Structure 1
């Protein structure tokens, strides 16, 4: 299975063609703990290092602001032969806007051979930080003071909605991001969508040059409908868009140069995964001449999963060898399902934890879930061979008379608690704030399958259904229904996660005390 999952793709045109540089690419210099909200300027040497690297693959970079040391970019870009589309960031703070504008004007006057255009405002209308009339007046004011063309950038729908900006700009800069469309576009149709939207905007602004100011695809993160972030999809979309731009002779700026991990906190995993270079090592994701795979470390992932599956079977055999009677055949079948599930999904779950963790809290959250998911089939194998039912919350947290004396059962119970608590946190997230939430389908399935098997095969015959388990079961069931309906039938990550929630709900509903 891993061989199939990791099968690389060969593209007609490499995302980075050694024989043809990119027209332009968005650049933000932030690394590690640096963010656009930080008060500390980005060091000059850091920017110079990035620009020297980018000069090898592109003729131009697009920036978005002039503060935090970004005003050094035009000077440093000129030294390595890069042109700059200089951004001026606008928000609700008038004083900061004035500083951004004055710096942008100064840079355009100082480096007219390097700065090819000024972008006055980025998605201001989308975020409703300024009225169209105020924005147009501001653009005209800047335009009168600089020797370079002036434009404004926004999502394409907002250009069609506010066509009065036409007279204020020298050319139209539109963002076309198929993944983020209100009706998400799958990767296979992304390039055609970009071209169709470009032509629609061009017909709405006759005589105006159209620059695609942002387009691209994320390499990691959650699905939106049928739009799947992945390495192969990112490489394919970029390759096809660039090939289309060359054939149709239109201008395009890719989004973006480097992954921006600091965006994970605000935009989820997908928000920080649009770069052609990774954030930490600054290495190219898709070197020329090397086929692109979604799982470049698939051999390690496969072997680690096989090792876990062997451990699960070993635990079951060791437990059964110490029992006076042989376990039922169906128990061995349940162990086989748990072991296979764990073996197949462990490498994927570990990869998701690595890419979806961005700070101490998220590392703790996803790390705890992965530990629970890894331990669950091991302890589950022991329980299935022993005929032991899943531990109840009352046995773990209730009055002393109800608590189990078994340390093995207590440890197994802690695994269940971790799974339920983290599962509930994610389930509530998909009901109340789902936009950037990642689907924990791999780790959650690893953890849920053994408990579901135990609940089915080793269920107590008598007793009352405990209230706590019933409440959690209800939460999982409601979340599964809501997420499945809201995300739609094309989002297999959502459907898979919902199936795991239903497994957990069924497990908890069968509990008896």
Structure 2
């Protein structure tokens, strides 16, 4: 009992220390804006919550747009919008009342008729509000999507210029401007997108601002004397790593502020993407797509203050408290199992194993719970995330009880096979059920990152919580003398092969990938060690 209390105290101390470290606010560079200054421009889409531009017939109320613009007018001089329908046509007249300017987009698609409707509406807005519309942006990343040829786009831009009384341009990722000299010749100024996170070779947050500045300098030299504006620049606050590019609240605040500081020194204009988080983008780009906003979607609250420290885990105290409570529960289950065990004594190695389970669960449980609503998209996404969370919560508890009772992980065949050969002990059955759930979510997660990885997240926290206790139990619990369990061995091969593919594909710079692959490898080792007990 004394050893158990010592181990529990150690686990509690480590969990508290880890979460204190994770939650510490990270210092930011000096505020890039002077007192009273505002952003030059910020991208704005009025869709909230479940609203999406892909919903047939959706029309955003003018009152909802005005509520946003009243807030945005306090921190930006300009809004960039991308289309002229679905209520977005109300942005210009509302912005005019608040003294804001608008970069008015006309959405160019692969449907020429719809494109022309967008163009006519943009021209009408510019005609009616010449003091508000700064420019008409004919198309956004249409070349990137392949919706129109460069020649046709250049012709469209020239036709709009012939009728517009404001400057006309186009906006796309900077590399696509290099491939379309006709388009560059047609516009009044060049509007480039520089998103270090989405580069073909992703740029880490620490180098992102310098990268943006270097690209702008290169493009400004190529297209002089035309002005080169940055039409989109930002960084996500949540989502999967791409090589060394890590989305996080602190990295978002750092990159945006450092780029704005460069722009102020070098005297060029930057449009920040974007005003508010856009949940609808998660269906297209995964978690990361919905978290580029300066303001969150649900509370419309700014995520950081200029020049102020930022914590990547603002709820760390609650997560630490939850982790400590969970560790106490793990030890409570272990003590209960020990009192109902047929083993003569509990050697120190068993309490160390329980401590390892409590640490793994206590550190990851807060991460897991917070990430469930962030990483869940659609019915399938919610089922997958809840299954992962269930495995992560159950595994340390069930495996700690099994460790104290000396019960090894049973083969799946002993759980769902012929009734005559099934496991009888309730703890063994519980271990087998948790094992099956963990196998399911581990294989789905691993294969998703093998066959369709671009927008897949790395559920490293729940997989660690679910997988590591199986490895710990396999190392301290005596194994049956039977042969290898076939299903478990085959699953281990699949997970091992996935790890061999994922690590080089994501590169060793991707810490999330390495962490998750370590959890998959640990689980694979535990599965290899499962033996099919003799009947």
Q: Give the shorter-chain TM-score range.
A: over 0.9
Q: Does 142-151 or 411-420 show the bigger shift?
A: 411-420
Distance in 2 separating the partners of 1:379 and 1:16: 54
DSSP-derived class of the 2:145 partner: coil
Confirm or deny: 8 A CA contact 1:18 1:288 kept in the other structure.
no
Confirm or deny: 8 A CA contact 1:262 1:358 kept in the other structure.
no
Q: Which residue of 2 aligns with 1:5?
A: 22
Answering whether residue 53 of structure 2 is matched by residue 36 of structure 1, we say yes
CA distance 1:17–1:411, change in 2 (3 Å) = farther
Answering whether residue 378 of structure 2 is matched by residue 353 of structure 1, we say no
Q: Summarize the alignment of residues 28-67 of structure 1 with structure 2, pairs less than 5 Å apart.
A: 28-39=45-56, 40-67=58-85
- Please report how far the alpha carbon of residue 127 of structure 1 lies from its aligned counterpart in structure 2 after TM superposition: 1.3
Q: Which residue of 2 aligns with 1:297?
A: 315
Q: Summarize the alignment of residues 234-253 of structure 1 with structure 2, pairs less than 5 Å apart.
A: 234-253=252-271
Distance in 1 separating the partners of 2:345 and 2:424: 25
Answering whether residue 39 of structure 2 is matched by residue 22 of structure 1, we say yes
Q: Which residue of 2 aligns with 1:492?
A: 511
Of 440, 451, 454, the residue aligned with 2:459 is: 440
CA distance 1:328–1:17, change in 2 (3 Å) = farther
TM-score, length of structure 1 as denominator length? 0.97
Q: Structure 1 stretches of 5 or more lacking a match?
A: none
Answering whether residue 177 of structure 2 is matched by residue 159 of structure 1, we say yes
Answering whether residue 308 of structure 2 is matched by residue 285 of structure 1, we say no
Q: Which residue of 2 aligns with 1:124?
A: 142
Q: Which residue of 2 aligns with 1:334?
A: 353
Distance in 2 separating the partners of 1:169 and 1:387: 74
DSSP-derived class of the 2:210 partner: helix
Of 413, 434, 444, the residue aligned with 1:425 is: 444
Confirm or deny: 8 A CA contact 1:463 1:512 kept in the other structure.
yes
- Please report how far the alpha carbon of residue 9 of structure 1 lies from its aligned counterpart in structure 2 after TM superposition: 2.3
DSSP-derived class of the 1:154 partner: strand
Distance in 2 separating the partners of 1:434 and 1:511: 30
Of 243, 253, 257, the residue aligned with 2:275 is: 257
Number of paired residues?
513
- Please report how far the alpha carbon of residue 414 of structure 1 lies from its aligned counterpart in structure 2 after TM superposition: 2.2
Distance in 2 separating the partners of 1:93 and 1:410: 58
Distance in 2 separating the partners of 1:100 and 1:459: 71
- Please report how far the alpha carbon of residue 92 of structure 1 lies from its aligned counterpart in structure 2 after TM superposition: 1.0
DSSP-derived class of the 1:469 partner: helix
Q: Which residue of 2 aligns with 1:196?
A: 214
Q: Does 17-26 or 202-211 show the bigger shift?
A: 17-26
- Please report how far the alpha carbon of residue 348 of structure 1 lies from its aligned counterpart in structure 2 after TM superposition: 1.6
DSSP-derived class of the 1:444 partner: helix
Of 351, 355, 363, the residue aligned with 2:382 is: 363
Q: Which residue of 2 aligns with 1:475?
A: 494
Q: Summarize the alignment of residues 103-122 of structure 1 with structure 2, pairs less than 5 Å apart.
A: 103-122=121-140
Distance in 2 separating the partners of 1:99 and 1:86: 14
- Please report how far the alpha carbon of residue 334 of structure 1 lies from its aligned counterpart in structure 2 after TM superposition: 1.2
Distance in 1 separating the partners of 2:34 and 2:446: 43
Q: Summarize the alignment of residues 61-76 of structure 1 with structure 2, pairs less than 5 Å apart.
A: 61-76=79-94
- Please report how far the alpha carbon of residue 452 of structure 1 lies from its aligned counterpart in structure 2 after TM superposition: 1.1
Distance in 2 separating the partners of 1:323 and 1:471: 32
- Please report how far the alpha carbon of residue 289 of structure 1 lies from its aligned counterpart in structure 2 after TM superposition: 7.1
- Please report how far the alpha carbon of residue 196 of structure 1 lies from its aligned counterpart in structure 2 after TM superposition: 0.2
Deviations, residues 323-371 of structure 1 (Å, cap 9, x unaligned): 3511232222111111111111211222222321233332222122112
Q: Which residue of 1 aligns with 2:11?
A: none
Q: Which residue of 2 aligns with 1:170?
A: 188
- Please report how far the alpha carbon of residue 17 of structure 1 lies from its aligned counterpart in structure 2 after TM superposition: 6.4
Deviations, residues 398-430 of structure 1 (Å, cap 9, x unaligned): 121222233333333222222111111111111
Deviations, residues 419-478 of structure 1 (Å, cap 9, x unaligned): 111111111111111011110111101111111122222252421223221221111011
Q: Which residue of 2 aligns with 1:140?
A: 158
Distance in 1 separating the partners of 2:218 and 2:432: 58
Of 380, 398, 413, the residue aligned with 1:379 is: 398
Q: Which residue of 1 aligns with 2:333?
A: 315
- Please report how far the alpha carbon of residue 288 of structure 1 lies from its aligned counterpart in structure 2 after TM superposition: 5.1
RMSD: 1.5
CA distance 1:135–1:334, change in 2 (3 Å) = same
DSSP-derived class of the 1:126 partner: helix
Distance in 2 separating the partners of 1:24 and 1:313: 54
Q: Which residue of 2 aligns with 1:455?
A: 474
DSSP-derived class of the 2:429 partner: helix
Q: Does 310-319 or 179-188 show the bigger shift?
A: 310-319
Confirm or deny: 8 A CA contact 2:243 2:508 kept in the other structure.
yes
Confirm or deny: 8 A CA contact 2:137 2:168 kept in the other structure.
yes
Distance in 2 separating the partners of 1:15 and 1:401: 72
Answering whether residue 324 of structure 2 is matched by residue 306 of structure 1, we say yes
Q: Structure 2 stretches of 5 or more lacking a match?
A: 1-17
Confirm or deny: 8 A CA contact 2:392 2:465 kept in the other structure.
yes
Distance in 2 separating the partners of 1:355 and 1:79: 36
- Please report how far the alpha carbon of residue 16 of structure 1 lies from its aligned counterpart in structure 2 after TM superposition: 7.3
Distance in 2 separating the partners of 1:105 and 1:459: 77
Confirm or deny: 8 A CA contact 1:16 1:286 kept in the other structure.
no
